[in-house]
Amino acid sequence: GAVVSQHPSWVICKSGTSVKIECRSLDFQATTMFWYRQFPKQSLMLMATSNEGSKATYEQGVEKDKFLINHASLTLSTLTVTSAHPEDSSFYICSARSERLAGVVTQYFGPGTRLLVL
Amino acid sequence: SQQGEEDPQALSIQEGENATMNCSYKTSINNLQWYRQNSGRGLVHLILIRSNEREKHSGRLRVTLDTSKKSSSLLITASRAADTASYFCATDEDSWGKLQFGAGTQVVVTP
Protein backbone atom coordinates (compact mmCIF):
# COMPACT_ATOMS: atom_id res chain seq x y z
CA GLY A 1 0.00 0.00 0.00
CA ALA A 2 0.91 3.65 -0.23
CA VAL A 3 3.34 4.97 2.34
CA VAL A 4 3.26 8.29 4.13
CA SER A 5 6.06 9.35 6.43
CA GLN A 6 6.30 12.04 9.06
CA HIS A 7 9.34 13.69 10.52
CA PRO A 8 10.15 14.01 13.30
CA SER A 9 8.33 11.21 15.08
CA TRP A 10 8.55 13.10 18.35
CA VAL A 11 9.80 16.49 19.47
CA ILE A 12 10.23 18.25 22.78
CA CYS A 13 10.61 22.00 22.74
CA LYS A 14 10.51 25.00 25.00
CA SER A 15 7.50 27.24 25.16
CA GLY A 16 7.71 30.03 22.59
CA THR A 17 9.68 28.15 19.98
CA SER A 18 8.41 27.08 16.58
CA VAL A 19 8.29 23.48 15.46
CA LYS A 20 8.09 22.21 11.88
CA ILE A 21 6.60 18.81 11.07
CA GLU A 22 7.03 17.25 7.64
CA CYS A 23 4.63 14.91 5.91
CA ARG A 24 5.78 13.05 2.81
CA SER A 25 4.03 10.70 0.43
CA LEU A 26 6.79 8.28 -0.50
CA ASP A 27 5.48 6.41 -3.51
CA PHE A 28 2.67 8.50 -4.88
CA GLN A 29 1.81 12.10 -5.58
CA ALA A 30 -0.70 13.76 -3.33
CA THR A 31 -2.31 16.99 -4.41
CA THR A 32 -4.19 17.05 -1.16
CA MET A 33 -2.96 16.31 2.33
CA PHE A 34 -4.74 16.65 5.63
CA TRP A 35 -3.50 17.54 9.09
CA TYR A 36 -5.12 16.16 12.22
CA ARG A 37 -4.52 16.67 15.91
CA GLN A 38 -5.24 14.07 18.56
CA PHE A 39 -5.23 14.71 22.29
CA PRO A 40 -4.79 11.78 24.69
CA LYS A 41 -7.69 9.35 24.71
CA GLN A 42 -9.54 11.41 22.15
CA SER A 43 -10.32 11.08 18.48
CA LEU A 44 -8.64 12.76 15.55
CA MET A 45 -9.71 16.31 14.86
CA LEU A 46 -9.17 17.67 11.37
CA MET A 47 -7.16 20.87 11.50
CA ALA A 48 -6.72 21.78 7.87
CA THR A 49 -6.71 20.63 4.28
CA SER A 50 -3.48 21.28 2.46
CA ASN A 51 -3.58 21.68 -1.32
CA GLU A 52 -0.44 21.70 -3.42
CA GLY A 53 0.32 25.14 -4.74
CA SER A 54 -2.45 26.94 -2.92
CA LYS A 55 -3.40 28.12 0.54
CA ALA A 56 -4.56 25.63 3.10
CA THR A 57 -8.17 25.50 4.20
CA TYR A 58 -8.51 25.55 7.97
CA GLU A 59 -11.29 24.07 10.03
CA GLN A 60 -13.32 26.30 12.27
CA GLY A 61 -11.49 27.18 15.44
CA VAL A 62 -8.00 26.45 14.09
CA GLU A 63 -5.76 29.51 13.99
CA LYS A 64 -4.09 29.76 10.61
CA ASP A 65 -1.41 32.11 11.92
CA LYS A 66 -0.60 29.64 14.65
CA PHE A 67 -0.46 26.55 12.50
CA LEU A 68 1.28 27.41 9.24
CA ILE A 69 0.85 24.90 6.44
CA ASN A 70 2.92 24.78 3.29
CA HIS A 71 2.35 22.28 0.48
CA ALA A 72 5.09 23.22 -1.94
CA SER A 73 5.32 19.94 -3.83
CA LEU A 74 3.17 16.95 -4.68
CA THR A 75 4.93 14.82 -2.09
CA LEU A 76 5.55 17.19 0.81
CA SER A 77 3.41 19.20 3.18
CA THR A 78 4.73 20.90 6.30
CA LEU A 79 2.97 22.05 9.44
CA THR A 80 4.71 24.67 11.55
CA VAL A 81 3.45 25.24 15.05
CA THR A 82 4.52 28.81 15.74
CA SER A 83 5.30 30.07 19.24
CA ALA A 84 4.31 26.73 20.71
CA HIS A 85 2.79 26.60 24.17
CA PRO A 86 2.11 23.65 26.49
CA GLU A 87 -1.51 23.47 25.32
CA ASP A 88 -0.22 22.71 21.82
CA SER A 89 1.24 19.46 23.11
CA SER A 90 -0.51 16.77 21.14
CA PHE A 91 -0.17 14.00 18.57
CA TYR A 92 -0.16 15.46 15.06
CA ILE A 93 -1.06 13.13 12.21
CA CYS A 94 -1.02 13.84 8.50
CA SER A 95 -2.66 11.97 5.69
CA ALA A 96 -2.30 12.06 1.94
CA ARG A 97 -5.17 11.68 -0.46
CA SER A 98 -4.94 9.07 -3.16
CA GLU A 99 -7.35 7.85 -5.78
CA ARG A 100 -5.69 4.52 -6.34
CA LEU A 101 -8.57 2.36 -5.28
CA ALA A 102 -10.83 2.33 -8.35
CA GLY A 103 -11.55 6.03 -8.16
CA VAL A 104 -12.50 5.93 -4.49
CA VAL A 105 -10.82 8.68 -2.57
CA THR A 106 -8.63 7.12 0.07
CA GLN A 107 -6.37 8.64 2.64
CA TYR A 108 -3.10 7.13 3.76
CA PHE A 109 -1.99 8.17 7.19
CA GLY A 110 1.44 8.98 8.48
CA PRO A 111 2.71 7.48 11.74
CA GLY A 112 2.19 10.73 13.64
CA THR A 113 4.41 13.23 15.44
CA ARG A 114 4.21 13.60 19.18
CA LEU A 115 4.86 17.16 20.31
CA LEU A 116 5.60 18.05 23.91
CA VAL A 117 5.97 21.71 24.76
CA LEU A 118 7.58 22.43 28.10
CA SER B 1 -16.26 18.97 14.33
CA GLN B 2 -16.67 15.26 14.81
CA GLN B 3 -19.46 13.66 12.86
CA GLY B 4 -19.56 10.19 14.27
CA GLU B 5 -20.39 8.83 17.65
CA GLU B 6 -19.30 5.40 18.65
CA ASP B 7 -20.40 2.98 21.27
CA PRO B 8 -19.31 1.47 23.42
CA GLN B 9 -16.48 3.80 24.42
CA ALA B 10 -14.59 0.84 25.80
CA LEU B 11 -14.89 -2.90 25.41
CA SER B 12 -13.07 -5.62 27.31
CA ILE B 13 -13.30 -9.20 26.07
CA GLN B 14 -11.38 -12.45 26.19
CA GLU B 15 -9.54 -14.03 23.32
CA GLY B 16 -11.83 -15.99 21.06
CA GLU B 17 -14.86 -13.83 21.75
CA ASN B 18 -16.41 -11.50 19.21
CA ALA B 19 -16.23 -7.73 19.55
CA THR B 20 -18.93 -5.48 18.16
CA MET B 21 -18.83 -1.71 18.04
CA ASN B 22 -21.21 0.78 16.51
CA CYS B 23 -20.89 4.13 14.82
CA SER B 24 -23.55 6.71 14.08
CA TYR B 25 -23.26 9.75 11.87
CA LYS B 26 -25.37 12.74 11.03
CA THR B 27 -25.09 13.74 7.39
CA SER B 28 -25.10 12.06 3.99
CA ILE B 29 -21.90 10.22 3.18
CA ASN B 30 -20.01 8.88 0.19
CA ASN B 31 -18.49 6.06 2.17
CA LEU B 32 -17.61 5.02 5.69
CA GLN B 33 -14.28 3.66 6.79
CA TRP B 34 -12.98 1.89 9.86
CA TYR B 35 -9.48 2.40 11.21
CA ARG B 36 -7.44 0.85 14.00
CA GLN B 37 -4.93 2.70 16.13
CA ASN B 38 -2.55 1.04 18.50
CA SER B 39 -1.60 3.13 21.51
CA GLY B 40 0.45 6.15 20.48
CA ARG B 41 0.74 5.02 16.89
CA GLY B 42 -0.68 6.01 13.52
CA LEU B 43 -3.85 4.78 11.92
CA VAL B 44 -4.26 1.54 10.05
CA HIS B 45 -7.01 1.38 7.46
CA LEU B 46 -9.21 -1.67 7.99
CA ILE B 47 -12.13 -1.52 5.61
CA LEU B 48 -14.17 0.85 3.49
CA ILE B 49 -17.85 0.45 2.77
CA ARG B 50 -19.54 2.56 0.14
CA SER B 51 -22.86 4.24 0.73
CA ASN B 52 -24.61 1.83 -1.65
CA GLU B 53 -23.27 -1.25 0.13
CA ARG B 54 -24.88 -2.89 3.13
CA GLU B 55 -22.29 -5.39 4.30
CA LYS B 56 -18.65 -6.10 3.69
CA HIS B 57 -16.19 -8.70 4.93
CA SER B 58 -12.45 -8.71 5.24
CA GLY B 59 -10.88 -11.64 7.04
CA ARG B 60 -12.22 -11.62 10.60
CA LEU B 61 -13.87 -8.25 10.08
CA ARG B 62 -17.48 -7.69 9.16
CA VAL B 63 -18.87 -4.23 8.57
CA THR B 64 -22.49 -3.28 8.06
CA LEU B 65 -23.92 0.01 6.94
CA ASP B 66 -27.49 1.21 7.37
CA THR B 67 -27.84 4.56 5.63
CA SER B 68 -31.48 4.90 6.69
CA LYS B 69 -30.38 4.83 10.32
CA LYS B 70 -27.07 6.54 9.58
CA SER B 71 -25.19 3.86 11.43
CA SER B 72 -22.50 1.27 10.92
CA SER B 73 -21.15 -1.62 12.93
CA LEU B 74 -17.80 -3.35 13.02
CA LEU B 75 -17.60 -6.95 14.15
CA ILE B 76 -14.30 -8.61 14.93
CA THR B 77 -14.72 -12.36 15.18
CA ALA B 78 -12.53 -14.74 17.17
CA SER B 79 -10.61 -11.85 18.71
CA ARG B 80 -6.92 -12.07 19.55
CA ALA B 81 -4.76 -10.20 22.03
CA ALA B 82 -3.21 -8.41 19.03
CA ASP B 83 -6.62 -6.87 18.29
CA THR B 84 -6.21 -4.69 21.38
CA ALA B 85 -6.41 -1.15 20.02
CA SER B 86 -8.72 1.81 19.51
CA TYR B 87 -11.10 1.57 16.59
CA PHE B 88 -12.46 4.62 14.78
CA CYS B 89 -15.09 5.05 12.15
CA ALA B 90 -14.69 7.89 9.68
CA THR B 91 -17.12 9.26 7.18
CA ASP B 92 -16.23 10.74 3.83
CA GLU B 93 -18.66 13.53 3.08
CA ASP B 94 -17.31 15.47 0.16
CA SER B 95 -15.40 15.08 -3.06
CA TRP B 96 -12.15 16.12 -1.42
CA GLY B 97 -12.19 13.06 0.76
CA LYS B 98 -12.23 15.01 3.99
CA LEU B 99 -12.84 12.58 6.82
CA GLN B 100 -14.77 13.12 10.02
CA PHE B 101 -13.83 10.70 12.76
CA GLY B 102 -15.95 9.17 15.45
CA ALA B 103 -14.97 9.24 19.09
CA GLY B 104 -13.56 5.73 18.95
CA THR B 105 -13.97 2.48 20.83
CA GLN B 106 -11.10 1.22 22.95
CA VAL B 107 -10.94 -2.57 22.76
CA VAL B 108 -8.93 -4.69 25.17
CA VAL B 109 -8.58 -8.39 24.44
CA THR B 110 -7.19 -10.43 27.29
CA PRO B 111 -5.50 -13.80 26.73
Q: Model confidence over A52-94: pLDDT tens digits?
A: 888 899 999 999 999 999 988 889 999 999 999 999 999 999 9
Which regions in chain B score pLDDT beneath 50?
1-2
Closest partner CB to A43 (pick from B41, B98, B101): B101
Say yes or no for a CB contact (<8 Å) between B43 and A91: no
Determine contact, residues B87/B104, Cβ cutoff 8 Å.
Answer: yes
B2 part of contact set with chain A, CB < 8 Å = yes
Q: Model confidence over A27-49: pLDDT tens digits?
A: 888 889 999 999 988 999 999 99
pLDDT score, position A31: 83
Say yes or no for a CB contact (<8 Å) between A34 and B2: no
Walk across the sheet containing A4-7 and list its strands: A4-7, A19-25, A76-81, A67-73
Q: In one letter, which amino acid is A45?
A: M
pLDDT score, position B17: 97
Q: Which CATH superfamily is domain B5-110 in?
A: Immunoglobulins (2.60.40.10)
pLDDT score, position B4: 66
Q: Which residues of A touch B (CB under 8 A)?
A: 1, 32, 34, 36, 41-46, 49, 60, 91, 93, 95, 97, 101, 104-112, 114
Contacts of A25 in chain B (CB under 8 A): none
Contacts of B96 in chain A (CB under 8 A): 32, 49, 97, 105
Cα-based distances in Å from B99 to A75, A79, B33, B44, B111: 20, 19, 9, 14, 34
pLDDT score, position A105: 65
Tell me the pLDDT of chain A averaged across its residues: 91
B101 part of contact set with chain A, CB < 8 Å = yes
Spatial separation of the C-alpha atoms in residues A49 and B37, rounded to whole Å? 22
